[in-house]
Amino acid sequence: MLIYKIFRRPEWDAFKSAGQTRGAPVDLADGYIHFSTAAQVAETAAKWFATESDLVLVALDAEKLGPALKWEPSRGGQLFPHLYRALDLSDVVWDKSLPLGATGHIFPEGLW
């Protein structure tokens, strides 16, 4: 199962350069890296990145993240994946630009 992380371009560039990240400021504050499922990621984009256009959508294989990935209740009681370790660049399955269109973010075809 793929799970998704939205990065702002500078965060993604820093991650690629360092090879590892503990996430965005919200992740650092919460003590884990926030992810979304395919069913949750559009709502996440709309809620937290509504006006941002230079974003990167990153896909990861949930099973390969190991026991540090926990499924915990969040928005509306839904279970969201949270990673309690640094994210390595080798964990990334793929990354794609996530542009902002006239009616919201434009997700890659075939995501859902």
Q: How many domains does the chain have?
A: 1
Task: Please indicate, yes or no, if residue 77 is contained in any of the structural domains.
Answer: yes
Note the pLDDT of residue 99: 96
User: Stretch 47-57: mean pLDDT, rounded?
Assistant: 95
pTM of the model: 0.94
- What confidence tens digit (pLDDT) does each residue in 57-102 have? 999 999 999 999 999 998 788 999 999 999 999 999 999 999 999 9
User: Stretch 31-46: mean pLDDT, rounded?
Assistant: 97
Task: Please indicate, yes or no, if residue 87 is contained in any of the structural domains.
Answer: yes
Task: Please indicate, yes or no, if residue 35 is contained in any of the structural domains.
Answer: yes
CATH of the domain at 13: 3.20.170.20
Task: Please indicate, yes or no, if residue 61 is contained in any of the structural domains.
Answer: yes
Task: Please indicate, yes or no, if residue 110 is contained in any of the structural domains.
Answer: no
User: Stretch 51-58: mean pLDDT, rounded?
Assistant: 96
User: Stretch 99-107: mean pLDDT, rounded?
Assistant: 94
Range of the domain at 29: 2-105
Task: Please indicate, yes or no, if residue 111 is contained in any of the structural domains.
Answer: no
- SS3 readout for 33-97: EECECHHHHHHHHHHHCCCCCCEEEEEEEHHHHHHHEEEEECHHHCEEEEECCCEEHHHEEEEEE
Note the pLDDT of residue 111: 84
Task: Please indicate, yes or no, if residue 112 is contained in any of the structural domains.
Answer: no
Average per-residue pLDDT in the chain? Answer: 96
Task: Please indicate, yes or no, if residue 54 is contained in any of the structural domains.
Answer: yes
Task: Tell me how long the chain is.
Answer: 112
